[in-house]
Chains A and B, each alone.
Chain A
């Protein structure tokens, strides 16, 4: 509802990224480009992602690739892997004393009813025409209301001047200024080029499926039709466009 309310009033409407691309995807080798291509799309796509937690091996590749792709500063992650145990690499113990390892890759859920967008006082957070929730750094005043409103805790704030590890070059997007909030953009700059988000492309277990939720022929829709797919914190009424497939069997150690 909010999306339609804001439509027309928002100069950022469309798929324009809030950040400028500083290096081109055309430079990639042809094989890489072919591997990363979006399978199919409708006239008015609504991008979503499916994370198969049965396939996830908790390697953090997607998290690290995301950091370099999007120039995410030290101390921040747009995408991270949570562990269902007491610590990062500690197994969980079930009621029968059996050990288990399971992971929950977590980034912005790109909610259809995004609580962050509803509370943003300046419309810096907005949903673009293709359903991607984005932050316009130029409009962000840094009140962090969106961070309080996000049930998933996926937004990060530039507390100080963004710092990078020594020797790390430029990412594919412009760095965000100090005092602004940022988060996963679903690699909107790649989608513009017909490419899937970098976390999807880089996953060695192929645990992520990206595609158009409104295209019945898309891979993501076929898998969703076949295996279902759950929404994280469904009871919050946020209607995420990121879905999860639960493991079909226990992963024993």
Chain B
């Protein structure tokens, strides 16, 4: 037993006690963080040559993580702002947790762009010398605003006295900002004439719908875990309500994807067909069909059928599948765009490292360094959520509450 645990045990805080499982959890997170820092440091010292990226596939796992984390930050907004504007109080017990999850996700997204930079030490150039036509600069701005909104939301929600009016104002402010966060992130890809697979107007709505799916699903999963490992009381109907919302989000998300693919397929032009063939029957097919079946169809059935939806454990499993499905979808959006050089004559693009030669659509396989950095980012996010939940969500220390 360490000092921290003894202090916590004697303080009488029922929920904030640092017990064995919690110490193990923290140890796991610290190990993950250390792995991430080591991988990042190793990459910093050697350059991005330690990744699996090449001049042909210049963006990979880091950018997938960035898209995914930006998307997953939508959860807090749906629960807090969406419910507020629709005038429902169903999700009120979830408010703080949802804002913590969202704020963490958007902070992690901002962090996850750093390892993708060839010179992270030069990132300040984006602030002192911004090129205002670049969607990357817009995204930096809108993510900063979004992070600030999450912080203000959390501050409002943790005041001893409820601030209904302030919450309503924040809801009105944050909705357009959230639409922008996901749209601008989509436009980073969508504006590129060089990548016909991305260069479609549906990308922004598609990013919003995917964000709604993964964000809501993550809030559901985190809430279920917190309820499971603590005595935090959360009525069952909250889960079923989130499940019902998810049914809509998944349906819209799938519809938008379908609308894009049908349009692209019927055009029968090479630059539209090539990426679709890669998804339907090519190298991305296993991941794509897993995304459609396990990531969309199976969870959708659980969300739609009331009898299934009411079983919280089933719902949590479905939400987990939804999150993984959206992650797969991010991969399946990024990779066809990358594997698609517009000038594809032999021998192709010089891949970039001594002795590596040329390539046109060589397979991209992330290196251990990339996986290590991703583990670090996930551990960082989980640590922030854990600390935030223990600080602001779990019932307060009864002794503290009794004090004048």
* CB of A4 closer than 8 Å to a CB of B: no
**CB within 8 Å of B: which A1-42 residues:** 2, 5-6
Write the chain A residue with the least CB distance to B349.
Answer: A153
Q: A153-B341, A158-B47 are in contact. Are A122 and B126 (CB under 8 A)?
A: yes
* CB of B306 closer than 8 Å to a CB of A: no
Query: Smallest CB–CB gap between B207 and chain A, Å?
Result: 16
Decide if the interface of chain A is mainly helix, strand, loop or mixed: loop
* CB of A151 closer than 8 Å to a CB of B: yes
Query: Smallest CB–CB gap between A143 and chain B, Å?
Result: 6
- The total of chain A residues at the interface (CB under 8 A) is 59
* CB of A167 closer than 8 Å to a CB of B: no
Contact across chains for B116 and A156 when beta carbons are under 8 A apart: no
Which stretch of B101-109, B190-198, B212-220 is in the interface? B190-198
**Among B122, B191, B338, B345, which residue has its beta carbon within 8 angstroms of that of A84?**
B345
Contact across chains for A118 and B133 when beta carbons are under 8 A apart: yes
* CB of A99 closer than 8 Å to a CB of B: no
Contacts of A83 in B (CB 8 A): 345-347
Contacts of A141 in B (CB 8 A): 117-120, 122-123, 125-126
**Among B47, B134, B140, which residue has its beta carbon within 8 angstroms of that of A161?**
B47
* CB of A228 closer than 8 Å to a CB of B: no
Q: A82-B343, A233-B342 are in contact. Are A149 and B192 (CB under 8 A)?
A: yes
Contact across chains for B355 and A82 when beta carbons are under 8 A apart: no
Contacts of B350 in A (CB 8 A): 75-77, 80, 156
Contact across chains for A143 and B118 when beta carbons are under 8 A apart: yes
Contacts of A153 in B (CB 8 A): 55-56, 341-343, 349
Contacts of A75 in B (CB 8 A): 350-356
**Among A2, A104, A148, which residue has its beta carbon within 8 angstroms of that of B194?**
A148
**Among A76, A161, A179, A238, which residue has its beta carbon within 8 angstroms of that of B352?**
A76
Contact across chains for A238 and B123 when beta carbons are under 8 A apart: no
* CB of B58 closer than 8 Å to a CB of A: yes
* CB of A171 closer than 8 Å to a CB of B: no
Write the chain A residue with the least CB distance to B195.
Answer: A148
**Among A86, A163, A177, A238, which residue has its beta carbon within 8 angstroms of that of B354?**
A163
Give Cα distance in the complex from A160 to B51, angstroms.
10
Contacts of A177 in B (CB 8 A): 119
Contacts of B48 in A (CB 8 A): 142, 157, 159-160, 179
**Among B118, B338, B356, which residue has its beta carbon within 8 angstroms of that of A178?**
B118
Give Cα distance in the complex from A145 to B139, angstroms.
13
Contacts of A209 in B (CB 8 A): none
Question: Interface 1/0s, chain B 197-228, versus A by CB < 8 A?
Answer: 00000000000000000000000000000000
Question: Interface 1/0s, chain B 328-370, versus A by CB < 8 A?
Answer: 0000000001100111011101111111101000000000000
Query: Smallest CB–CB gap between A232 and chain B, Å?
Result: 7
**Among B122, B131, B341, B352, which residue has its beta carbon within 8 angstroms of that of A123?**
B131
Contact across chains for B342 and A144 when beta carbons are under 8 A apart: no
Query: Smallest CB–CB gap between B65 and chain A, Å?
Result: 15
* CB of A175 closer than 8 Å to a CB of B: no
* CB of A140 closer than 8 Å to a CB of B: yes
Contact across chains for A152 and B343 when beta carbons are under 8 A apart: yes
Write the chain B residue with the least CB distance to A89.
Answer: B346
Contacts of A158 in B (CB 8 A): 47, 118
Write the chain A residue with the least CB distance to B134.
Answer: A121
Contact across chains for B345 and A144 when beta carbons are under 8 A apart: no
Contacts of B188 in A (CB 8 A): 145
* CB of A139 closer than 8 Å to a CB of B: yes
Give Cα distance in the complex from A80 to B380, angstroms.
44
Give Cα distance in the complex from A82 to B343, angstroms.
9
* CB of A169 closer than 8 Å to a CB of B: no
Apart from A147-B58, A148-B338, A178-B118: 16 A-B pairs, beta carbons within 8 A: A76-B352, A85-B346, A88-B346, A115-B192, A121-B131, A121-B134, A123-B130, A139-B129, A141-B126, A143-B136, A148-B195, A153-B56, A179-B48, A232-B343, A233-B342, A236-B342
